[in-house]
Structures are given as structure tokens and as C-alpha cells.
């Protein structure tokens, strides 16, 4: 190690910002790197998001199609095979809290139980919706369902 090889630890320093408008010697004096005249040279200027200098912006050039239903209710699907996995671990009372704790749904998700797979153990399931096949399969093995 020699004095001329010393340098600060990486990440401990950062580049100083441009000091604009501080004299001609700085290279950024006079117009302070804003160019001559026009809205951009004056204080308080801003452009809206997506502005492309007067060219038709991308979000208006691309065609729009389709429809987004604002009243749509989205359910997180949980299939019978996932319920069977929980039952194999000894969980027989299944509700949204249990599903959230096991990482199957998010905090505010609505749940719909679907009929893929099979369930062999009687479980009590509490969910927002059930498919007809899932309802039949759960009740066939002696389980019960309850709507939230």
C-alpha cells in the first residue's frame, strides 16, 4: 500500500452535481445549460408525462381496443388438490386466513374453490365462491362448505 494508491471505499463517495450558472469558467455559465430563449429556458417550466416535443405521443399513436369492466370481481382460484395438500398437513378447517398464512392468496383476495384434483379427507371450507364440481367433491367425502 502506498499513498498514491489510496482511494475511498467503493460506494462511499458520489459525483458532485453540476454547479450551473456560476460563471463562464465553469463551462455552464451564461445560460446555465438551458439554451437560448423558449419555455425550457425559463423558470417554472415542466412538460406533461409522455410529451414528445409536439410529435404525436406513443400512447396516442397506438390503437386502443377492448374494454375494462370496472365492476369486475376477481377471485383467486384454489383447487381441490391444494386443499388436499393442506389436509395432509393436518389442517381440516380451511378459510382465507389459513390460505393466506400458507401463501396461496394475498391479504385482500377473494377465494373461489375449483374442482381440479381430488380430495380424500373431510374438511370444512369457508370461501367466497365454490364451483359446482368442487362443492360436490367436498360434500361427497363428508366435508362441509360455507360461503363468506
Instruction: Point out which residues pair with 77 in neighbouring strands.
Output: 112
Where helices occur in the chain by DSSP H, the ranges are 58-61, 80-88, 96-101, 132-140
Q: Is 56 exposed, middle or buried (0-12, 13-18, 19+ CB in 10 A)?
A: exposed
Average pLDDT over residues 94-108: 93
**What per-residue confidence (pLDDT) applies to 9?**
93
Domain boundaries, the chain: 75-147
CB 94 within 8 A of CB 124: yes
Here the cell at position 142 is 363428508
pLDDT(83) > 90: yes
Going by pLDDT thresholds of 50, 70 and 90, the confidence category of residue 58 is very high
CA distance 60 to 145: 49
**What per-residue confidence (pLDDT) applies to 136?**
95
Dihedral angle over CA of 104, 105, 110, 114, nearest 10: -20
Q: Top-level CATH class of 75-147?
A: alpha beta
Taking alpha carbons only, the member of 145, 75, 88 closest to residue 119 is 88
**What per-residue confidence (pLDDT) applies to 16?**
85
Mean pLDDT, rounded, of the chain? 93
Helix axes of 132-140 and 80-88: crossing angle, nearest 10 degrees: 30
Q: What is the share, in percent, of the chain residues with pLDDT greater than 90? A: 86
Rounded to two decimals, what is the model's pTM? 0.59
**What per-residue confidence (pLDDT) applies to 77?**
96
pLDDT(109) > 90: yes
CA distance 33 to 81: 64
Going by pLDDT thresholds of 50, 70 and 90, the confidence category of residue 148 is confident
Amino acid at each position: 500500500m502506498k499513498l498514491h494508491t489510496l482511494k475511498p471505499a467503493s460506494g462511499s463517495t458520489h459525483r458532485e452535481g453540476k454547479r450551473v450558472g456560476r460563471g463562464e469558467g465553469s463551462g455552464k455559465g451564461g445560460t446555465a445549460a438551458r439554451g437560448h430563449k423558449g419555455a425550457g429556458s425559463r423558470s417554472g417550466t415542466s412538460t406533461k408525462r409522455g410529451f414528445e416535443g409536439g410529435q404525436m405521443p406513443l400512447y396516442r399513436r397506438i390503437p386502443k381496443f377492448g374494454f375494462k369492466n370496472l365492476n369486475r370481481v376477481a377471485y383467486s382460484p384454489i383447487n381441490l388438490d391444494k386443499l388436499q395438500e393442506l389436509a395432509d398437513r393436518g389442517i381440516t378447517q380451511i378459510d382465507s386466513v389459513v390460505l393466506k398464512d400458507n401463501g396461496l392468496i394475498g391479504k385482500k383476495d377473494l377465494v373461489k374453490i375449483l374442482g381440479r384434483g381430488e380430495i380424500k379427507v373431510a374438511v370444512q371450507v369457508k370461501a367466497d365462491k365454490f364451483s359446482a364440481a368442487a362443492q360436490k367433491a367436498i360434500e361427497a367425502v363428508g366435508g362441509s362448505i360455507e360461503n363468506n
